[in-house]
Amino acid sequence: MELWFSEFHAPDVKHSIRVNRHLYSHKSPYQQIDIYETPEFGKVLSLDGNVMLTERDEFIYDEMITHVPMAVHPGIKNVLVIGAGDGGVVHELARYRTIENIDLVEMDEQVVEACRMYLPENASRLDDERVHIYFDNALRFIRRRTDEYDLIIVDSTDPFGPSESYFTKEFYGICYNALHEDGILVNQQGSPFYQHDAEAMQRSHQRIVSTFPISRVYQAHIPTYAAGYWLFGFASKKYHPLDDLDAEKWQALNLKTNYYTTRLHKGAFYLPAFLERLLEEVE
Amino acid sequence: MELWFSEFHAPDVKHSIRVNRHLYSHKSPYQQIDIYETPEFGKVLSLDGNVMLTERDEFIYDEMITHVPMAVHPGIKNVLVIGAGDGGVVHELARYRTIENIDLVEMDEQVVEACRMYLPENASRLDDERVHIYFDNALRFIRRRTDEYDLIIVDSTDPFGPSESYFTKEFYGICYNALHEDGILVNQQGSPFYQHDAEAMQRSHQRIVSTFPISRVYQAHIPTYAAGYWLFGFASKKYHPLDDLDAEKWQALNLKTNYYTTRLHKGAFYLPAFLERLLEEVE
C-alpha cells in the first residue's frame, strides 16, 4: 500500500509526503483538521488540506517568528499570540524568563485538543502558568485591548478562508492600538514565489506599511511550505529590526536554536531583487 | 488528460509539476535527457529524471553561482565552466565585458544540442566569440591545465551518477592546480535538508576544506530543487567571499538582476544554526 498526502502549492505544482498512518481526522466548525504520521517529516498537522506544521521542520517557523522580535525589543513582557493553537510559538516564547504573560487567542478549540493529544511535545508549554488561552475570535478579542502588549505574533493560516480577516487594514489597525508605543507586530506573510501567493503578500504588506511607521519583510527556508520559501512581516512603532538588533544581549541568553542565529537574523532581511521590487511596488 | 512530472526529493517526498507537452526525450551515452513544457515553470530540462532547470526559476541558480565570485575577485578574465551545457551560466558570465575567455567543458554534446533547440534563450550566448566549448571529460581536460584560470564554476548534476567524480578530493586538487594563485572555485553543493543530500554535502565540503585555504558555503531559495533550499561552495586561494566583496564596484556595472544583490550576497553566507553545525562537524 502507498499512502500519500498531497498539497497543491500552486494549481500546477504538487508537494507530496508519504504517510504511514492517518492518525486523526475531524471537521470542526471552522476547518478540516488532520494529523498524519510520516516517515520523513514525523507527525504532520494539516488544516483544510494545507500543511501547518511538521515535526521535522516546524523549528524554522517557530524560531523565526519568535526570536527575531525578541532580539530587537529590549523589554518584552506581555505577548499576544493569535492562532498557533498547536503550541509551537508559545513553546519558543516560554523559553524567555523575562516574558511575564502570554495570551493565546485561537478560534478553534479542536486544534488545541488535537495537538495536545498527538503533538504533546509541541503543545507542552500551553500549560505554562504564564500562558492564558482564549478560544475566541481574534478581532473581537483585540478590539477590547488598548496599549497593552509589547509584542503581537500572528501565526495564522493563509489569507484565504477562515484567517482572511487577519490580513485586513482593520485588523492591523486594532493590533496597532493594542500595542504599547514601542510595540512590535510579527506575522506570517506567505510566500513570494507563486503568483497567487505573491499578490496576497503584496496586498497585506501594503496594508501594514500604511499602518506602522516601520515595516520590513524577512525570509526563511521552510521545505514543506509553498516553494520552500516563506516570509514574515515585522511591523513596529519604534524599533528597527536591524538597527536595533542587540546581538550580544540575545547571545548572552544562551538559548540553543536550530535555525535562528543573530547573524542569520540580518541575512533574513537581505531579500532577492525580485522580492525587493514586489515590495517597493506597494510601499 | 492530466500529465505530471514527478521527482523524488527524498524517498518519501515527491515534487510534481503539471506538464502540457513532453517536447524532447533522448537517451544519450551518459544520461536520459527530457524537456517538458509546463504551465507554471515554462520549459523544464531534466536529466535522469531530476530537474536541472526551469525557465521560471533558473535565474536564481545562474545568478548566484556567477555573481558571487564576480563581485569578489577584482580581475576575472579567464573562466572555466564545467557541465552547464544548457548555457545558463555562460549567459550570465557573458554579461561581463571584462571576461576575455570562457572555456565550457560538457561531457554530453546531446545536452547542448537539445538546449539550443528547445531553450534557445538560455543557450543564446554559447555562440559568443569568447566561449569555447569542449565535449570532453572534465577531469581529463583540467588535468592538462596549470595556473590558467581566475575562476572555475562547477555546474554539475548531483554527486550520484555521472557527476560523482566532480565531488572527489582528486577533482578539487586538479581544480586548485588549474587556478591562478588568486583563483576561485565555485560549485553547486546540493541541499542540506534531507539526510542523503546533507551527508553528500558534508563529504564534499570536507574535501574542499582540505584543499583550499578559504572555503565557505552559501545558500539560495530554488523552488524546484530538493526542499527548495540549495547550497553553493565558494573555495578560494586568496579572496574571502565577504571581506573582499567590492559592492560599490559591482553596483557600478549596472547589471540588472532578479535575485542577486550585493546585500543578499552577504546574507547568503549567514547560515542557519543546523547547517553551521553540519559544516563544523567536517571542518
pLDDT score of B180 more than 80 = yes
- For B250-275, what is each residue's pLDDT tens digit? 999 999 999 999 999 999 999 999 99
Is residue A238 within 8 A of residue A226, CB to CB? The reply is no
Q: Between chains, do A258 and B264 touch, taking CB under 8 Å as contact? A: no
Q: Is B113 annotated as a binding residue?
A: no
Q: Which pLDDT score is estimated for B107?
A: 92
Whether residue B76 sits in one domain with residue B38? no
Mean pLDDT throughout A58-74?
A: 97
Whether residue B95 sits in one domain with residue B39? no
Mean pLDDT throughout B208-222?
A: 97
pLDDT score of A173 more than 90 = yes
On average, the pLDDT of chain A sits at 95
pLDDT score of B161 more than 90 = no
In chain B, which ranges are E strands?
Answer: 4-10, 13-18, 21-27, 32-38, 42-47, 50-54, 78-83, 101-105, 131-134, 149-155, 179-190, 214-221, 229-236
- For A11-59, what is each residue's pLDDT tens digit? 999 999 999 999 999 999 999 999 999 999 999 999 999 999 999 999 9
pLDDT score of A278 more than 80 = yes
| Contact list, A61 vs chain B (CB under 8 Å) | none
Place of cell 560599490: B248
Q: What is the CATH number of the domain that holds B200?
A: 3.40.50.150
Q: Which pLDDT score is estimated for B69?
A: 98
Least confident residue range of A31-35, A42-46, B152-156, B158-162: B158-162
Between CA B109 and CA B112 the distance in angstroms is 5
Whether residue B198 sits in one domain with residue B135? yes
Mean pLDDT throughout A130-136?
A: 96
A57 tagged catalytic: no
| Contact list, A60 vs chain B (CB under 8 Å) | 272
Whether residue B212 sits in one domain with residue B113? yes
B83 or B228: which leads in pLDDT? B228
Whether residue B158 sits in one domain with residue B246? yes
Is residue A100 within 8 A of residue A129, CB to CB? The reply is no
Interface test with A, best of B6, B9, B12, B41 (most A CBs within 10 A): B12
Mean pLDDT throughout B15-38?
A: 97
Q: Which pLDDT score is estimated for A186?
A: 98
Mean pLDDT throughout A118-128?
A: 92
pLDDT score of B163 more than 80 = no
Between CA B196 and CA B179 the distance in angstroms is 31
Residue in A with minimal Cα distance to B194: A40
Confidence of residue A167 (pLDDT cuts 50, 70, 90): confident
pLDDT score of A268 more than 90 = yes
Between CA B233 and CA A173 the distance in angstroms is 45
Between CA B80 and CA B175 the distance in angstroms is 10
On average, the pLDDT of chain B sits at 95
> What letter represents residue A12's amino acid?
D
Q: Which pLDDT score is estimated for B156?
A: 82
Task: Report the catalytic residues of B.
Answer: 155
pLDDT score of B1 more than 90 = no
Question: What contacts B89, CB < 8 A, 6 or more positions away?
Answer: B62, B65, B66, B81, B153, B155
- Structural domain range at position B276: 58-282
Between CA A88 and CA B241 the distance in angstroms is 36
| Contact list, B36 vs chain A (CB under 8 Å) | none
- Half-sphere exposure of A149 toward its Cβ, with a 13 Å CA cutoff? 26
Is residue B81 within 8 A of residue B153, CB to CB? The reply is yes
User: Which one of the listed residues A155, A182, A197, A243 is annotated catalytic?
Assistant: A155
Domain count, chain A: 2
Q: Between chains, do A270 and B261 touch, taking CB under 8 Å as contact? A: yes
Whether residue B135 sits in one domain with residue B177? yes
pLDDT score of A161 more than 90 = no
Q: Between chains, do B272 and A40 touch, taking CB under 8 Å as contact? A: no
| Contact list, B16 vs chain A (CB under 8 Å) | 6, 13-16
Neighbour count for residue B256 (Cβ, 10 Å): 6
A104 or B164: which leads in pLDDT? A104
ipTM score for this prediction: 0.96
Between CA A189 and CA A13 the distance in angstroms is 20
Confidence of residue A163 (pLDDT cuts 50, 70, 90): confident
Q: Which pLDDT score is estimated for B100?
A: 98
Interface test with A, best of B221, B257, B280 (most A CBs within 10 A): B221
Closest-CA distance of chain A to residue B194, Å: 8
Q: Which pLDDT score is estimated for B41?
A: 98
Query: Which residue numbers of A have CB closer than 8 Å to B's CBs?
Result: 4, 6, 10-18, 38-40, 57, 60, 193-194, 219, 221, 223, 227-229, 257-261, 263-264, 266-274, 276
Whether residue A205 sits in one domain with residue A71? yes
Is residue B157 within 8 A of residue B50, CB to CB? The reply is yes
Nearest to B221 among A60, A228, A263 (CB): A228
Cα-to-chain-centroid distance, residue B265: 16
- For A205-233, what is each residue's pLDDT tens digit? 999 999 999 999 999 999 999 999 999 99
Q: Between chains, do B273 and A267 touch, taking CB under 8 Å as contact? A: no
CA angle A269, A271, A276 (to 5 degrees): 115
Q: Which pLDDT score is estimated for A65?
A: 98
Least confident residue range of A60-64, B159-163, B171-175, B220-224: B159-163
| Contact list, A10 vs chain B (CB under 8 Å) | 40
Whether residue A249 sits in one domain with residue A124? yes
Place of cell 553547486: B188
Confidence of residue A256 (pLDDT cuts 50, 70, 90): very high
Q: Which three cell numbers stand for residue A266?
A: 540580518
Query: For a pLDDT cut of 70, what percent of chain B falls above it?
Result: 99
Residue in A with minimal Cα distance to B19: A12
Between CA B79 and CA B131 the distance in angstroms is 10
- For B104-142, what is each residue's pLDDT tens digit? 999 999 999 999 999 999 889 999 999 999 999 999 999
Whether residue A64 sits in one domain with residue A16? no
Q: Which pLDDT score is estimated for B31?
A: 93
Return phi, psi of residue B23, to 5°. Answer: -80, -35
Closest-CA distance of chain B to residue A262, Å: 9
Whether residue A70 sits in one domain with residue A38? no
Between CA B219 and CA A216 the distance in angstroms is 21
Q: What is the CATH number of the domain that holds B43?
A: 2.30.140.10
CA angle B52, B62, B112 (to 5 degrees): 55
Q: List helix spans (H) across chain A.
A: 58-70, 88-93, 109-118, 120-123, 138-143, 169-178, 195-209, 247-252, 262-267, 273-282
| Contact list, B17 vs chain A (CB under 8 Å) | 12-14
Nearest to B257 among A4, A257, A273 (CB): A273
Whether residue B34 sits in one domain with residue B130? no
Nearest to A12 among B38, B266, B270 (CB): B38
Q: Between chains, do A60 and B272 touch, taking CB under 8 Å as contact? A: yes
Closest-CA distance of chain B to residue A186, Å: 20
Whether residue A164 sits in one domain with residue A72? yes
Mean pLDDT throughout A65-83?
A: 97
Please measure the distance between the N-terminal and C-terminal CA atoms of chain A and give it in whole angstroms: 51
